[in-house]
A and B are shown apart, each in its own frame.
Chain A
Amino acid sequence: MPYKWPEKRQVIGTKVPRLDGALKVAGKAKYSYDRNLPGLLHGKILRSTVAHGKIVTLDLAPAEAMPGVKAAMSIKKVGDIVRFGGDEVAALAAETEEQARDAIRAIKVAYESLPPLASEEAGLERNPPPPPQTTEKGLKIEEAFAKATVTSEGFYGVAVITHVCLETHGLVADWKADDDLVVYCSTQAVGNTRNSLKNHGPFKAIANLKVTCETPFMGGGFGSKFSADLQGTVAAELARKAKRPVKLMLERDEEHWAGGNRPSLFAKVKAGADKDGKLVALDVESYGTGGNSTGVDMRLPYIYLPEGHRIRNRDVNVNAFNKRAFRAPGSPQACAVMDQMMDDLAHAGGWDPVEFRLKNLPGQGNPLVNLSPIWEKELKMGAEAIGWKQGYHKRGDPAAGPIKRGLGCAINTWGGGPGGAQASCTIAPDGSVEVRCGTQDLGTGTTTLVPIVAAEILGLEIKDIQGKIGSSAYPDAGGSGGSTSCGGVSLAVGVACMKALEQIFAKAAPALDAQPGDLEAEGGKVYVKAAPAKSLSWKQACALLGAQAITAVGDKADKEIQGMAASGVGGAQFVDVSVDVETGQVRVNKVVAVADCGLVMNRLLCESQVYGGVVQGLSLALFEERRLDPRSALMLNPDMEWYKLAGHSDLGEIEVHLLDYPERGVIGIGEPPVIPTQAALANAVTNAVGVRVGVLPITPKRVLDALAKK
């Protein structure tokens, strides 16, 4: 019989505060950074001070002679090429962090400089230029434009941003024995972090190597922390050499240089609509960089599908660290291009932007057609909540004075769904319940999710469940990425508990003079559905197990649980801004975010994910940008002073509306809410000031430059 979620839910979908919230607020949660093991050494990495060059000298001896140094190693060798400012060259471990820093400076290193590529434009102009990759679908592009009665052209873009995880990347490596390594790693994938150390790199050859990754808490990854990474492997190597535990967490500048970044995307776009306001043609010439050897994550055309489109993209290289996955890879950039284009086209045709979007929602032939009713609902709800009818005006606020107000919107989609996950549920004769799952809490609330699911299935309260996650020693679960943790973990835990409960029912049924299938667990009791008075307390029922605890395993891959989860969400966001056209400063008045996420597991933390997405989206829309020196390609703002991040006073009011579609099962909400904020804000700015700024982040310079060109 296929498993399914209970019809009447007591815990799932309620508002459950983070179980570890108090620990975090009180500073009692131990992060990787906080693992100060006895005998701990501090690791540091020597990083290249040129963005492109060949190593011509590398001598560790002077560093090895420095006070406190216990182990040193080269990462690259003479003759190797460094490809970005901050590229890893060598590393060492010393008794104190200060000694390690000083010793790093004692390493003798010299580079022969090679010409760096310092910007996308420089990357485009290199010889030979990067070839375009072309996709063309539907009508031939000329034929598609022949159908258009209205066209618009624009240039839209999003700069490279970095992940800026509050807890930087890194780990503490502790060899318990020659073949037993424990790492405390800031990771969003404990299993893959273990695998990356065990199956790849320098330790692969160690026979019967056991690696365990422990991550009870971590401070943000956003897609940039799926393995031990180079610095993790280096820490483990140094620890092995020194026979002492080594902590190697990146410093803030290193985090910017080599912790991860999101590719840029800049697009020259021409689009056309027919007289009925249907998008018919889209021609895009774009470029972007994913670092020194990778390109953009191309997701154009995004959502709206014209009758004919052509995308010609060039992946350009710059001498900077390669991209990492970042919260909904490729989508915020695609949305920023597509939804700004939609706004300009609506303007050109004289159509209301919301109406224009409604008219162009995916129809037959578009794989997203099933989401259209959701978007329709969301666009209407969002428009209502932001006050579109009253607040929207034609492009350019006619109000006197320099403060101009405007509204804008954008829509998004993302897959999500259940990721690979296994879990075990152990019930002891004393009634205690322990659920183990080798997932991790990326900050999304997985620690709280596990007991929610178990309590629901077993008819208990959250406090009755011991949820154990954040260790690769627990049953394998995938990395927290793609908005798939909630789905995968919910299914694995849910089914593990359902299977364990079946065993309890089997024991309890004779005592209640019933069949196992007649029983229900609810409110701390096991009872006969048809005669609720016939019941046992949970403890009484578990006591029937005798001396042995039982353990059941749930696996998301189990065929019998299909239907408990789904994939594919739609969302819409509306932004209300005021722009000072004499200083270029944008102030956010309000954001309305409407998000769909199937079956809501924890309403509080689900909403919290949407708030977080909007906050990050606003920060990206207004402030965040990696600045490379146009000559050296070295990063000019590897800090939190000039790498600007939104603070509370920058955010305005944020209103979240969650749509419930419990019949769709669990989907996941981590990534989608960050996608449309940038485009919606850009559209609001244009509505306010009357010109398209186009490229994000929308800084005073970009606003005033755009106005000056008007």
Chain B
Amino acid sequence: MKAFTYKSAASEADAVAALGPGAVALAGGTSLLNLMKERVIEPSVVVNLKSVAGLDKIEAAGDGWKIGAGVTIAALLENPQVVKGYPALAEALETVGTPQIRNMATLGGNLCAKTPCLYFSHDGFACLKRGNGNSCPAKDGDNEFSAIFGTVMPCVSVHASSASPALIALGARLRVAGSGGARELPVEEFFVLSKDDPARENVLKQGEIVTHVILGKPAGKSATYVALHKASHDWPTALASAALDMGEGDLVRTARICLGGVAPIPWRVQAAEAALAGKKVTPETASAAADAAMAGAAPLSQNAYKVKVAHTALKRAVLLAARGSWK
């Protein structure tokens, strides 16, 4: 790891001021430190956000909740209102890493973490996203775990965050603070798929941090299905989060569905949402929605199997949300 200066920020303003060029924010460190050890990220200044006052609070806000970016995943999972009100979020968080990782990892860090791509996350490979190469080595290399959507983009890594698809499905918003003050935006608009700058996956500018996640009124029905290889301590093969707004006669009024682990950013699938609108949720309609979503998939040489996995995750998330069981 390259030597760096360490600063502990006491306030939002402090953090923003300290995050000058070459500086990087540190939350739980479960992702960042690995990349620093591999020298994928070589900051000259590391700014600790865990010391920022109030960033670790879960507060009621109107009909919903305002969650500090520094709240750990373990703390969120121990909060009964969050778990009960937003099952899609809780079910996504339950499988993140291991208990040790969930004890350290924060929600803000989860939203901002970098891809676990085999090439990007290990030193020794020239990689477009890392900035030391001019093409994506996974494209015609080992792409078993790479993207199946958005693969025409220059980088085919998958986004790291398990929580983000749930937050997008739930229509959550983010509060971002920077030198010019704070702003709010939907989580969905936070993520960007950039042809010009494959290094980035969100809209944060130099000196900006995520301070809060704002959850609206608990959604009627929501769920996340995470497909794993190992039972624990593994990255999802694919995951899907669904939030259903139910109308009369058990018909879906609107659905919001987002996939994770399948594209360089969380991948909302409006085709699937449209396929469900006005329908009753059955294994057949759920599967049809998954078919609609997968029509847009363009797998790489080694990961056609992920289309099946993502299809399954979507179908099961929808069934889980509507009926409490996918079986």
Whether A700 lies near B237 (C-beta < 8 A) is yes
Closest to B308 in A: A704
**Smallest CB–CB gap between B260 and chain A, Å?**
14
CA distance A641 to B116 in the complex (A): 9
Pick from A627, A648, A649, A700: contact of B229, CB under 8 Å = A700
Given A627-B118, A644-B230, A701-B303, also A582-B125 (CB < 8 A): no
Residues 305-327 of B contacting A (Cβ, < 8 Å): 305, 308-309, 311-313, 327
Chain B residues closer than 8 Å to A650, beta-carbon distance? 230-232
A646 at the interface (CB under 8 A from B): yes
Whether A401 lies near B327 (C-beta < 8 A) is yes
Residues 615-644 of A contacting B (Cβ, < 8 Å): 622-623, 627, 629-632, 634, 636-639, 641-642, 644
Chain B residues closer than 8 Å to A589, beta-carbon distance? none
B227 at the interface (CB under 8 A from A): yes
The residue among B141, B227, B230, B232 with the most chain A CB atoms within 10 A of its own CB is: B230
Q: How many A-B residue contacts, CB cutoff 8 Å?
A: 93
CA distance A155 to B313 in the complex (A): 31
CA distance A587 to B232 in the complex (A): 12
Interface of A: prevailing SS: loop
CA distance A362 to B308 in the complex (A): 44
Given A647-B232, A647-B233, also A630-B142 (CB < 8 A): yes
A583 at the interface (CB under 8 A from B): yes
**Smallest CB–CB gap between B14 and chain A, Å?**
28
Chain A residues closer than 8 Å to B232, beta-carbon distance? 647-650
CA distance A646 to B231 in the complex (A): 9
Whether B305 lies near A636 (C-beta < 8 A) is no
B179 at the interface (CB under 8 A from A): no
The residue among A402, A582, A637 with the most chain B CB atoms within 10 A of its own CB is: A582
Pick from A402, A639, A701: contact of B302, CB under 8 Å = A701
Whether B118 lies near A634 (C-beta < 8 A) is no
Per-position contact with A for B92-105: 1 when CB-CB < 8 Å, else 0?
00000010000000
**Smallest CB–CB gap between A638 and chain B, Å?**
7
B122 at the interface (CB under 8 A from A): yes
Whether A647 lies near B122 (C-beta < 8 A) is no
A152 at the interface (CB under 8 A from B): no
Whether A584 lies near B228 (C-beta < 8 A) is no
Whether A704 lies near B305 (C-beta < 8 A) is yes
Closest to A652 in B: B231
CA distance A700 to B124 in the complex (A): 27
B137 at the interface (CB under 8 A from A): yes
Whether B230 lies near A636 (C-beta < 8 A) is no
CA distance A631 to B137 in the complex (A): 9
B119 at the interface (CB under 8 A from A): yes
A195 at the interface (CB under 8 A from B): no
CA distance A311 to B227 in the complex (A): 40
Pick from B98, B228, B303, B312: contact of A582, CB under 8 Å = B312
Whether B141 lies near A649 (C-beta < 8 A) is no
B184 at the interface (CB under 8 A from A): no
Whether B142 lies near A636 (C-beta < 8 A) is yes
Per-position contact with A for B13-24: 1 when CB-CB < 8 Å, else 0?
000000000000
B144 at the interface (CB under 8 A from A): yes
Whether B229 lies near A623 (C-beta < 8 A) is yes
Given A650-B230, A650-B231, also A701-B118 (CB < 8 A): no
CA distance A704 to B125 in the complex (A): 29
Chain A residues closer than 8 Å to B305, beta-carbon distance? 584, 700-701, 704-705, 708
Given A629-B137, A630-B141, also A585-B227 (CB < 8 A): yes
Per-position contact with B for A648-667: 1 when CB-CB < 8 Å, else 0?
11100000000000000000
Jot down 5 A-B pairs with beta carbons below 8 A, ordered by A.
A582-B312, A629-B119, A642-B116, A700-B309, A708-B304
Besides A587-B231, A644-B229, A700-B305, 4 more A-B contacts (Cβ < 8 Å) are: A584-B309, A637-B118, A642-B118, A708-B308
